[in-house]
């Protein structure tokens, strides 16, 4: 029997059941009502369906990007769906205090007066402008880094965007954390959506518009239990929409069984394949990161030369500051049979679980 093509869904608390429940919730449901479970059931009941679904229940906020990338990669998916969390948009006083202290440290008294406006609007504006320790730009980069890992291996990637509810809905409370949202939270969510869309467009990743779907299916009252978590009926709506895509004749193109990417979904123990090293500068990345012996075919800084070479692996050795732009250029030039990997992705397996603040956590 032919192996089915696979879609892996990385999901936050919205993709679980109502794992947290109190008397504020109008309903509670189990995992059997969530859209990944419903979707897989519909696909399994369709004998003609060629796609299967794997659900990886995890948050990927904070410092867990590498851990969740690994968990996705181990499923060797043809397509990845990312249903991300909200924690990077939940502003509080500590973000403003950090901003003020940094501004004071950077300010010279002789340069004149330094003043601050502390309000919901001012805090949201600082977030949108990228002036806090959390920002739409940093959020987008994390999503991009996960998407890039799979796009560079010629797998499809889709981000399920953030629903932007009316801040007054359910009195603005996010029940699971008993967090009352800012009156300007929608501005923060919109800034994130726009920033992620722009960043993902660089590498051809797609967006599944959950916000638009919510508005087309009765709005917040129909779709949301609080400011964030889905109703049982909205899970069913998402499952139906995804099933229509996955069961259709034109959904996706799975990579072939002999595609080079299968051997590079995680860091291989041995590398016998010929490699093109793409080096746009004199950075000694290879000596710094790679301990495995490599069969290097060509070292180049010309995308066209890399595309015409016989090797299927392009090792991109470049500073982080220019790497994203080089990925974009290479993806439009290389053959579809060629993949792009970074030095750190073939030197060892990264599985960090520490948060951005340094505390160890799994979610």
Q: Does the pTM exceed 0.85? A: yes
C-alpha span between 165 and 14 (Å, rounded): 14
In the predicted model, what is the mean pLDDT of residues 7-16?
A: 89
Mean pLDDT throughout 78-106?
87
| 199 vs 320: CA distance, rounded Å | 15
Walk across the sheet containing 156-160 and list its strands.
Answer: 51-57, 5-11, 79-83, 156-160, 206-208
- What percent of the chain clears pLDDT 70, i.e. is strictly above it? 91
Neighbouring residues of 225: CB distance < 8 A, sequence distance ≥ 6: 18, 25, 26, 27, 175, 231
Spatial CB neighbours of 195, under 8 Å, sequence gap ≥ 6: 136, 137, 139, 140
Task: Annotate 95-118 with b (16+ C-beta within 10 A) or e (fewer).
Answer: bbeebeeeeeeeeeeeeeeeeeee
- From the number of C-beta atoms within 10 Å of its C-beta (0-12, 13-18, 19+), residue 207 rates as middle
Give yes or no for residue 25 having a pLDDT over 60: yes
Q: How many CA atoms lie within 13 A of 130 on its CB side?
A: 8
Distance CA 9, CA 237 (A): 16
Contact 348, 269 (CB under 8 A): no
Report the alpha-carbon distance of residue 297 to residue 182 in Å, rounded.
55
List Cα–Cα distances, 252 to 40, 128, 288, in angstroms: 17, 34, 38
**Tens-digit pLDDT profile for residues 111-170:** 888 889 999 999 999 999 999 999 999 999 999 999 999 999 999 999 999 999 998 999
Q: How are the residues of the chain apportioned to helix, strand and coil, as percentages rounded to the nearest 5?
A: 45, 15, 45
Which of 34-38, 243-247, 329-333 has the least mean pLDDT? 243-247
Structure tokens, 335: 């053959």
CA distance 64 to 362: 7
347 or 63, which is more confident: 347
Mean pLDDT on 100-112: 87
Q: Three-class SS string for 19-39?
A: CCCCCCCCCCCCHHHCHHHHH
Flag whether pLDDT at 346 surpasses 70. yes
Helix (H, G, I), strand (E, B) or coil at 330: helix
Locate tokens 């008993």: which residue?
178
pLDDT of 261-276, one tens digit each?
999 999 998 899 999 9
By CB atoms closer than 10 A (0-12, 13-18, 19+), residue 320 is: exposed
For the chain, list the strands marked E by DSSP: 5-11, 51-57, 79-83, 156-160, 173-174, 179-180, 206-208, 274-278, 295-300, 313-316, 339-341
What whole-number distance in Å separates Cα of residue 140 and Cα of residue 307? 29
- Residue 354 CB neighbour total at 10 angstroms: 14
């Amino acid at each position: 029997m032919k192996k089915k093509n696979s879609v892996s869904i990385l999901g936050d608390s919205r993709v679980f059941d109502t794992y947290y429940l109190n008397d504020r919730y109008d309903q509670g449901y189990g995992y059997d009502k969530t859209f990944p479970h419903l979707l897989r059931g519909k696909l399994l009941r369709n004998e003609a369906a060629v796609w299967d679904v794997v659900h990886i229940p995890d948050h990927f906020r904070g410092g867990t990007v590498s851990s969740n990338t690994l968990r996705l990669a181990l499923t060797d998916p043809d397509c990845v769906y990312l249903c991300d969390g909200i924690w990077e948009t939940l502003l509080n006083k500590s973000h403003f205090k950090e901003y003020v202290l940094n501004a004071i440290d950077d300010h010279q008294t002789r340069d004149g007066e330094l003043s601050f406006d502390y309000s919901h609007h001012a805090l949201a504006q600082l977030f949108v402008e990228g002036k806090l320790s959390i920002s739409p730009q940093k959020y987008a980069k994390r999503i991009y880094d996960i998407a890039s890992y799979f796009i560079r291996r010629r797998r499809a990637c889709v981000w399920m965007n953030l629903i932007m509810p009316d801040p007054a809905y359910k009195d603005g409370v996010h029940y699971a954390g008993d967090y009352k949202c800012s009156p300007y939270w929608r501005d923060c969510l919109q800034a994130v959506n726009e920033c992620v869309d722009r960043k993902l467009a660089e590498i051809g990743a797609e967006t599944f518009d959950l916000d638009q779907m919510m508005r087309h299916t009765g709005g917040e009252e129909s779709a949301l239990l609080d400011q964030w978590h889905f109703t049982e009926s909205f899970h069913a709506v998402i499952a139906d929409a995804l099933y229509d895509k996955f069961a259709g004749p034109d959904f996706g193109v799975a990579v072939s069984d002999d595609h080079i990417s299968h051997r590079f979904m995680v860091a291989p123990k041995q590398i016998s394949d010929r490699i093109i090293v793409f080096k746009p500068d004199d950075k000694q990345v290879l000596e710094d990161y790679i301990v495995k012996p490599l069969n290097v075919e060509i070292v180049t800084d010309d995308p066209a030369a890399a595309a015409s070479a016989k090797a299927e692996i392009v090792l991109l050795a470049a500073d982080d500051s220019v790497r994203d732009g080089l990925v974009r250029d290479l993806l439009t030039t290389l053959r579809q049979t060629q993949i792009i990997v970074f030095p750190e992705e073939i030197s060892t397996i990264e599985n960090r679980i520490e948060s951005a603040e340094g505390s160890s956590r799994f979610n």
